[in-house]
Amino acid sequence: MREHDIIIIGGGLAGSRAAVEIKRTNPNLDVAIVAKTHPIRSHSVAAQGGIAAVLKNVDPEDSWESHAFDTVKGSDYLADQDAVEILTKEAPNVIIDLEHMGVLFSRLEDGRIAQRAFGGHAHKRTCYAADKTGHAILHELVNNLRRYGVEIYDEWYVMQLIQEEGSAKGIVMYRIEDGAIEIVRAKAIMLATGGYGRVFNTTSNDYASTGDGLAMAAAAGIPLEDMEFVQFHPTGLYPVGVLISEAVRGEGAYLRNANGDRFMENYAPNQMELAPRDITSRAINLEIRAGRGVNSDGSAGGPFVHLDLRHMGKEKIMSRVPFCWEEAHRLVGVDAVHEPMPVRPTAHYSMGGIPVNTDGRVRLSADSLTEGLFAAGECACVSVHGGNRLGSNSLLECVVYGRRVGAAIARYVENRKLPQLDAAPYFNAATQRVKDLFDRTSGIRIAQLRQEFQDCMTEYCGVFRTEATMQEGLAKIQQLKAKYDRIYLDDKGDCWNTELIEAIELQSLMVVGEMILASAINRKESRGAHSREDYPQRDDANFLKHTLAYYSAAGIDVNWMPVVIDRFEPKERKY
């Protein structure tokens, strides 16, 4: 059995930042990152628009209190305000630290870090590296992993979190290169496995965003918090769904319907295109429903709206958002200097996740913690985003909480021994799981079942929801789960068997999808991204609380947890 002081699952921004901090705190600790992709291919690398922090480089009137207020209001008052305070107060410091590590931020004329407008933020506070911000940050972090001597297991897939009697002891991992299965024990384990966009059929996320960490935690008896809050980004490029960054609107682009009107006037007259994402996505869907969407030939009644950059001019487009121009040009043949881009909402971000306290310790219930288990980044719910995340706050969460959780882990493992662990049963179970998949020679193909599942989630639990459609969706998921036992693989080899990985990922997606549906059915109100047509109002009297959903094969149990409100009293949300 292998062993390390600390294992971090995931090499994106959250996992990498935590690893660096552990090594900075105590260089003698033996830290390993395990990632199913190479760390540099984590979804963080695709982040475009930027990272928020009150540096006051462009807007001297800004303050951390204003950033905190915007975040809480954006969250529809479901964010925990103590966690938001940490996020916004520590933000300037983590940005300067990243810059010292070598991150190449875009600059103002005078050499200071540039900052742009972003949806739901009252001031220009989003730092950026053109529209490739994630790329700039992740590359420096990964360079630093090497410098600090963090061991990296890249292209190893973690199949299981080993949790015994409320305590995390190790992991089961599978080497994609040759099919080797290994058990690793550690004094502390951190989940930094990112999001689950692939639960839906149209998403901005990469193929690896399959919610594995969430499913592993749920299978180990850990609850998942606020899973009903799924962010649909307003501007996914039609029809492919890839992201056109909010930075494009931050730099001045307009949303127009088939009549050429800037329809946001009717939904958020003050903030217009820079309203928060939940409001903007609903507005686009309502325009499309009302027949004011656009067709490919430009006529009305179609499935998308227009994102119009033309008035910005070629120079600004090419210097501030060159990657978005390139995506539209390459993927749908639109030259945004001369034509509007076709866009509609796309599944983008998970506000919910593995419940943690502000040191990243994973909760077992509203008032108890697990031992040895930590989480940060998109897979975690601390909760700084509540019911709706503001753009550029996620990268910030990854680095603020990555750093904080790294320091907490370094303290936690001091004077702790490696846990006692009998590896054999876990090794045998994992081997059997692979064998079962290989043994089947006929049945259903993975791609077919995954498509049915993604279509089901998109149809029954998308931007707008009702009791009847979600119950129907949940019943359908049960049928699809039964079908999972009949999937079979064409490739039964050990070398780079991506079909096997997809089969295991599909199981993660199905657990996560069921948790989203069950949590969404329980929340009988509309708040943030959770929009119920049968309960259109926010209901603070009954639902100003976090959902905690527990998974079991027999069904899902839902409990609640209080929200920390210590600064801003809930008010009606208007933009």
Binding region for ligand FAD (CB under 6 A): 9-15, 34-37, 39, 42-44, 46-51, 133-134, 157-158, 192-195, 204-205, 208-209, 212-213, 243, 349, 377-379, 392-395, 398
Q: How many CA atoms lie within 13 A of 512 on its CB side?
A: 31
Residue type (1 letter), 141: L
Rounded Cα distance, 292 and 256, in Å: 9
Q: How far is the CB of 6 from ligand FAD (least distance, A)?
A: 15
Mark residue 424 as left, alpha or beta (left: phi above 0; alpha: psi -120 to 50; beta: remaining). Answer: alpha
Rounded Cα distance, 33 and 37, in Å: 11
Range 132-136, long-range pairs (CB < 8 A, 24+ positions): 132/48, 132/323, 133/47, 133/48, 133/49, 133/50, 133/51, 133/395, 134/13, 134/44, 134/45, 134/46, 134/47, 134/48, 134/395, 135/45, 135/46, 135/47, 136/103, 136/104, 136/105
The three state secondary structure string of 128-168 is: CCCCCHHHHHHHHHHHHHHHHCCEEEECEEEEEEEEECCEE
Rounded Cα distance, 285 and 255, in Å: 12
Nearer to ligand FAD by Cβ, of 42 and 497: the residue is 42
Nearer to ligand FAD by Cβ, of 119 and 194: the residue is 194
Rounded Cα distance, 188 and 526, in Å: 38
Nearer to ligand FAD by Cβ, of 46 and 511: the residue is 46
**Structure tokens given for 420:** 């006692």
Nearer to ligand FAD by Cβ, of 194 and 473: the residue is 194
In Å, how far are 68, 344, 384, 408, 550 from 225, measured between CA atoms? 21, 28, 12, 21, 9
Q: How far is the CB of 157 from ligand FAD (least distance, A)?
A: 5
Beta pairing, strands 181-191 & 380-381? unpaired
Contact 522, 562 (CB under 8 A): no
Nearer to ligand FAD by Cβ, of 138 and 268: the residue is 138
Q: How far is the CB of 457 from ligand FAD (least distance, A)?
A: 17
Rounded Cα distance, 146 and 130, in Å: 26
Rounded Cα distance, 121 and 119, in Å: 6
Contact 465, 530 (CB under 8 A): yes
Nearer to ligand FAD by Cβ, of 43 and 538: the residue is 43
Nearer to ligand FAD by Cβ, of 37 and 57: the residue is 37
Q: How far is the CB of 489 from ligand FAD (least distance, A)?
A: 18
**Structure tokens given for 251:** 């730099």
Using DSSP's 3-state secondary structure scheme, residue 96 falls into: helix
Nearer to ligand FAD by Cβ, of 217 and 398: the residue is 398
Q: Which residues are catalytic?
A: 277
Nearer to ligand FAD by Cβ, of 35 and 184: the residue is 35
Cα 97 → chain centroid: 23
Q: How far is the CB of 335 from ligand FAD (least distance, A)?
A: 21
Using DSSP's 3-state secondary structure scheme, residue 182 falls into: strand
Residues 6+ away with beta carbon under 8 Å from 569:
none
Q: Which of 426, 477, 423, 471 is nearest to 450 (CA)?
A: 477
Q: Which of 135, 138, 137, 132 is nearest to 323 (CA)?
A: 132
Q: How far is the CB of 511 from ligand FAD (least distance, A)?
A: 13
Q: Which of 127, 71, 91, 121 is nearest to 383 (CA)?
A: 71
Residues 6+ away with beta carbon under 8 Å from 292:
257, 258, 259, 261, 263, 300, 305
Nearer to ligand FAD by Cβ, of 85 and 131: the residue is 131
Q: How far is the CB of 390 from ligand FAD (least distance, A)?
A: 9
Q: How far is the CB of 174 from ligand FAD (least distance, A)?
A: 8
Q: How far is the CB of 193 from ligand FAD (least distance, A)?
A: 4
